[in-house]
Structure 1
């Protein structure tokens, strides 16, 4: 890095105003979303009488739709070069679905509304994460994603608390939760429109981060699907995608974890919405320090350690069901898992993807992971229905242990090779355009 580039990067804050504004949007939106998420498993299973297989199917669709739409959101954001616009459409669509929950009370229409809400989430996730990475220097991306996830998780803490209080005081509790959630979601969209910078500011930030001063904005060639798919030629990105898929196949849905806890210790229905609060609180406390740690020691070790914590949580649910501290330990490990993975994975992806294809690269890995979790929800729900929750969780734990071992090998840098990934045009299969900027920092 030359002295001129170093000076430019020295003026780039570790956490930019873009990250803080997006964090505020995510905080408000998560209050809205987690109010619904906190009551949804019990509403579906106890209120509507769904079987574990039925709930697993609906939960899988809930996440699978988001996964498929991520590719569209990421590609559109890169193609129109306006990440805020695509993210805003996603946030708006999710907000529109909240009041519709007041009108549907059967499985079919409810599934359609949840699928539409997840469509909004899928559209916004990759453009939002691309905005964070483009406004942050590579050496600070773990911290930036950690700060964003901490703000996001603050909303995840407040959402279940709000749902709990509403259920205690409202006569028609579930409808009251859905109505308040709709109002909060609209507020989140307004904050995005008013406070998140637009296209010109993002391009200036990306140019400054790349060390190009304030004049350039990287590759201006039209982005097409062929370029996005060609990203998988990057060895390190391909390795990250494979590992995300493998580990996602054995990551049991949050809702199932909470239902397992409820069955193990007999939690009363009125306290059930507070279970996600434990996960969120630990995530909130650890997101920033874990992100800083990932910047210092590398993403690989932190990412795998998070899955080790999840495996320990599975073990406690299997072999210590009568331990008084069980819910606290499981929720703490669950929150640690998210702190070690949720922001670290996109930071690792951003390290190896060119600026002009950033949202597409994030979408490729995110889609693979989410589709794998969709399959896990279906399989776990079916296994629970056929064999019971204990055997279903045991098979998931064995699968997670095996997949974590494979991921540790796949993500390990080749002997004698430096961590950075080759980002030359020859490696990506694309001709170099004059003025194109790229990063040479690899995911470790």
Structure 2
């Protein structure tokens, strides 16, 4: 069962009809956006890889203090994401708003070299997350507009795979810099700033605007040789606040938003997972920046297959399976014996979780909202999920400080199990909901 239904607006259901043409499976817009994300993620993950150790071991933050800072790091992005998505739909220029977001994040990277206490670091990270919040929904809207509904899992999978290539290379770069530089952390922050600036340049030069994106994603002719209709030429109302709020009347979008919030409340942040793994195994601090590589490598290899599988068997199944795999990783951290293969298995499960959820959720959301409100719909769900993870970071950091790491993780595991059961119920198939039609072949007959 797909995470989409017949209650979606007409504009969101036009893509299956286009499958009879020859629109490219992966457009140049997706590849260009993937390249920007690859470069930007190298920059971001260089910082992310060293930040937990820099703050906890270098500056002496407590787990509660780190949880608060990590929550701010994600919470600010959540609030801004909603504004960024609505603004992109309002001005009808997703590339412009995404570019502003990428640029702001790039400007914040060198500021970390001059911030050496909790207050300034919190401000810089909040500004950096503001940039991420501005760019996320417009970027995902451009991806969704560049592919028909029935193959958006593939499009998001390709993008996430390229994005994760950057996440794989970033920690390697941070590790190499720390091993050779005298002022290792400042050197990481400086190189990260230069790489981020390159990502902005690629966006400006190579990413097409929304009009060209939509044109590229549609075949030139219909099934009988006639010119395919272009919805972009029709009358589209300006995306106002009233139209944005009306999206919440879509039953499937509400269900997706509620599920994203529930599951986000029990999804422990990556930084805490790596800290837990490092403490559980007694790993040397020198190797800590390489822990994200395991997650990123699995994500990179399986993001596209997971997206294609979601297009084929249903996004609900793949999405819930991803959270089951995350629950298994929590169980290993809590109860598995301390054997040499434990870190590898935990990181594999962590990467599988992201491969099965990170691109599948926006693909499902994109199938339920019209094109002129695509970024707003993506932002609504993304904001709910990010705010929930903000709350989880605060709660987990407080629980770690009060009870210790094992009880805190056990509480998160129980919560995740309960929320996954509720999500499975909310996203169950109903009589009014049916799978998206499969692409037609010349021999197949039309569906009634």
- Both proteins in one fold, TM over 0.5: yes
The residue that corresponds to 1:329 in the other structure is 345
Structure 2: how far apart are the matches of 1:416 and 1:157? 42
Q: Residue 368 and residue 59 in structure 1: after superposition, are their counterparts in 2 closer, same or farther (change >3 A)?
A: same
The residue that corresponds to 1:435 in the other structure is none
How far the C-alpha of 1:230 sits from its partner, in A, is 1.1
How far the C-alpha of 1:266 sits from its partner, in A, is 1.1
Q: Residue 355 and residue 265 in structure 1: after superposition, are their counterparts in 2 closer, same or farther (change >3 A)?
A: same
Q: Residue 6 and residue 229 in structure 1: after superposition, are their counterparts in 2 closer, same or farther (change >3 A)?
A: closer
1:11 aligns with 2:22: yes
Task: Work out which of the residue numbers 256, 267, 270 in structure 2 matches 1:240.
Answer: 256
Structure 1: how far apart are the matches of 2:31 and 2:16? 24
Task: Work out which of the residue numbers 410, 426, 430 in structure 2 matches 1:410.
Answer: 426
Unmatched 5+ stretches in structure 2: 1-9, 223-227, 438-448
1:250 aligns with 2:266: yes
The residue that corresponds to 2:171 in the other structure is 160
Question: Does structure 1 conserve the Cα–Cα contact (< 8 Å) formed by 2:18 and 2:148?
Answer: no
Structure 2: how far apart are the matches of 1:191 and 1:262? 36
Task: Work out which of the residue numbers 134, 148, 153 in structure 2 matches 1:137.
Answer: 148
The residue that corresponds to 1:301 in the other structure is 317
Question: Does structure 2 conserve the Cα–Cα contact (< 8 Å) formed by 1:67 and 1:370?
Answer: yes
TM-score normalised over the length of structure 2: 0.91
Structure 2: how far apart are the matches of 1:316 and 1:361? 36
1:163-202 equivalent positions in 2, closer than 5 A: 163-202=174-213
Q: Residue 239 and residue 169 in structure 1: after superposition, are their counterparts in 2 closer, same or farther (change >3 A)?
A: same
1:124-150: CA deviations, max 9, x gaps?
000000000001011110000000000
Unmatched 5+ stretches in structure 1: 422-444
Question: Does structure 2 conserve the Cα–Cα contact (< 8 Å) formed by 1:8 and 1:213?
Answer: no
TM-score normalised over the length of structure 1: 0.91
1:260-271 equivalent positions in 2, closer than 5 A: 260-271=276-287
How far the C-alpha of 1:376 sits from its partner, in A, is 0.2
Structure 2: how far apart are the matches of 1:180 and 1:227? 43
1:88 aligns with 2:104: no
How far the C-alpha of 1:391 sits from its partner, in A, is 0.2
How far the C-alpha of 1:217 sits from its partner, in A, is 3.7
The residue that corresponds to 2:124 in the other structure is 113
Structure 1: how far apart are the matches of 2:130 and 2:312? 35
Alignment length (residue pairs)? 421
How far the C-alpha of 1:214 sits from its partner, in A, is 4.8
Question: Does structure 2 conserve the Cα–Cα contact (< 8 Å) formed by 1:207 and 1:215?
Answer: no
The residue that corresponds to 1:24 in the other structure is 35
The residue that corresponds to 2:381 in the other structure is 365
The residue that corresponds to 2:48 in the other structure is 37
Question: Does structure 2 conserve the Cα–Cα contact (< 8 Å) formed by 1:83 and 1:127?
Answer: yes
Structure 1: how far apart are the matches of 2:99 and 2:137? 12
Q: Counterpart of 2:114 in 1: which secondary structure? A: coil
Structure 1: how far apart are the matches of 2:52 and 2:80? 23
1:107-126: CA deviations, max 9, x gaps?
00000000000000000000
Structure 2: how far apart are the matches of 1:122 and 1:156? 18
Q: Counterpart of 2:25 in 1: which secondary structure? A: coil
